[in-house]
Amino acid sequence: MRGFLFSLKSDKSNYYICKTFDKTMQYKRILLKLSGEALMGDRQYGIDPKRLKEYAQEIKEVVDRGIEVAIVIGGGNIFRGVAGASQGMDRVQGDHMGMLATCINGLALQSALEDTGVYTRLQTAIEIKEIAEPYIKRRAIRHLEKGRVVIFGAGTGNPYFTTDTAAVLRAIEINADAILKGTRVDGIYDVDPEKNKNAVKFETITFKDVIEKGLKVMDMTAFTLSEENNLPIIVFDMNTKGNLLKLVSGEQIGTIVDNE
C-alpha cells in the first residue's frame, strides 16, 4: 500500500487534485496564447529557463483558483533561426518545421509546469504519439475538468495557418470564456506605443473598430474567426508578475476586444 501511494505521488503526470473554483473569478475556462519569442527572455533564440519558470508560476496561480487553463504556444523562438538559414524554402515545408517548433515549446512548458506541481497534458494536431497525445476535443475537455492544464501543440496541423488561428480555433472548440493573448505590450493602442509616447491605450474596443482603425491584434483569419464566434480576445502584458491572476480576477488589465 505504501509503495502504491508513493508511486501515485511520484508520477507527476497522473496524480491530480481538482482545485475548487474560486467564484470571485471572472473566467472559468481560459485559453492562454503565448508567443514562442516570449520564451526567449533576453536571448536571441531558444528557451530561457528563467522565463519558462516565471510563466509556469504565473499559470499555477490561476490553476490554484480552480480556473481551467488551455495553452497554445507559438514556435518563433526556434523556427526563426531555421527560416533565416533557409531562404526560399517551400512554404509548406517551413510551416511543418514551425509546427514541430511549437511541440518543442509545448514539451518545455509542460515540464516547467509539472515542476511547479501543475498537472498537464500535451495534445498535438499532428500525430507524434510516442511524445504526446493526439488532439481529441472531448478528451481535452475532460482533462480540463480534472484540473489539468492542456497544452495544444502543432498549431492547427495545417500549413498557412498561424498559431493565433490555432488558439482561436481551440478556444472555440473547448468553449473557453476568452482568449488571453500574452504579449510584451500591455494592451492595444491607437498608435505604436514604442514609437509614439502620446499613444492612447484602449480598455475595451470592438472587433469592428479594430478593423476600421487598422489596428493589429491578430492575423485576419484568427481575428474574424474570433469575431464570428463571439470569443473575446484580451491582449495583456504577460511579463509583468501577477498580471494573469489579476486579469482572471476581473481587474482591468490589458485591452478587451469584444463584439459590443
Minimum CB–partner distance for residue 143 and ligand GTP (Å): 6
* C-alpha cell at position 29: 475556462
Q: At what angle do helices 91-115 and 49-63 cross, to 10 degrees?
A: 70
Each residue 168-187 as x (binds ligand GTP by CB under 6 A) or -, in order, gives --------------------
161 labelled ligand-binding:
yes
Nearer to ligand GTP, 81 or 134 (CB): 134
| Beta strands 68-73; 204-206: pairing state | unpaired
CA–CA separation, 247 vs 191, rounded Å? 23
Q: What is the DSSP letter of 201?
A: B
**Phi, psi at 214, each rounded to 5°:** 70, 30
75 marked ligand binding residue: yes
CB of 71 to ligand GTP, least distance (A): 15
Hey, which residues between 8 and 37 contact ligand GTP (CB under 6 A)? 13-14
For ligand GTP, the closer CB: 35 or 120:
120
DSSP state letters, 108-165 = HHHHHHHHTT--EEEEESS--TTTSEEP-HHHHHHHHHTT-EEEEESTTSSTT--HHH
Report the nearest approach of ligand GTP to the CB of residue 153 (Å): 11
Interface with ligand GTP in residues 97-136 (CB under 6 A): 121, 129-134
Up-side HSE of residue 92: CA atoms within 13 Å toward CB?
A: 1
Shortest gap between Cβ of 133 and ligand GTP (angstroms)? 4
Q: In b/e form, how buried is each residue of 33-45, taking b as 16+ CB within 10 angstroms?
A: bbbbebbbbeeee
Q: Which residues make up each annotated binding site?
A: 33-36, 75-76, 80, 95, 156-163, 183, 189, 192
Which residues lie near ligand GTP (CB under 6 A)?
13-14, 121, 129-134, 142, 146
Q: Which residues make up each annotated binding site for UMP?
A: 75, 95, 156-163
Q: Which residues make up each annotated binding site for ATP?
A: 33-36, 76, 80, 183, 189, 192
